[in-house]
């Protein structure tokens, strides 16, 4: 991931603050930010919008075989979270006991380490969610 540093900084608003946008033409919210409204296309007028930090589990899976760089975190949960405004996002669940991870369970955003690029490389932080 050594070449990912510029990408991480470009996406820092979304990664750190759940910054998305809102189409003033059709009224839909989007995360991550879009350049063009997928519904209205070029007719839509997009404005910046802070996404809510609360939501509920829409779907989830329990990961036992992680991709490279995340082996030390297994087992863990990955979930699609539906935010209070209806936006869906993919995230890792942390600090959540297995018996509480169910569809419809309320979750809240928290700020955690996402990955570390070697012992002396970049440490990327961002959002994850936990059961409340």
pLDDT tens per residue across span 21-78? 999 999 999 998 899 999 998 888 999 999 999 999 999 999 999 888 788 888 999 9
Judge contact between 28 and 39, C-beta under 8 A.
Answer: yes
User: Cα separation of 80 and 61, whole Å?
Assistant: 9
Residues 69 and 6 in one domain: yes
Residues 63 and 26 in one domain: no
Burial status of residue 34 (CB atoms within 10 A of its CB: 0-12, 13-18, 19 or more): middle
| 130: pLDDT strictly greater than 90 | yes
pTM: 0.83
Residues 81 and 125 in one domain: yes
Residues 24 and 66 in one domain: no
Q: Count the residues in the chain.
A: 132
Q: Which domain holds residue 32?
A: 19-51
Beta bridge partners of 37: 41
| 10: pLDDT strictly greater than 60 | no
83-100 pLDDT tens trace: 999 999 999 999 999 999
């Amino acid at each position: 991931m050594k070449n990912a540093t510029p990408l991480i900084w470009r996406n820092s608003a979304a990664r750190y603050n759940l910054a998305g946008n809102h189409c003033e033409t059709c009224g839909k919210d989007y995360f991550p930010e879009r350049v063009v409204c997928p519904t209205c296309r070029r007719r839509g007028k997009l404005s910046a919008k802070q996404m809510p930090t609360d939501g509920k589990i829409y779907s989830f899976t329990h990961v036992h075989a992680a991709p490279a760089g995340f082996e030390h975190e297994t087992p863990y949960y990955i979930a699609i979270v539906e935010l209070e405004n209806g936006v869906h996002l993919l995230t890792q669940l942390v600090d959540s006991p297995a018996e509480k991870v169910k569809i419809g369970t309320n979750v809240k955003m928290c700020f955690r380490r996402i990955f570390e690029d070697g012992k002396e490389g970049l440490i990327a932080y961002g959002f994850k969610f936990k059961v409340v």
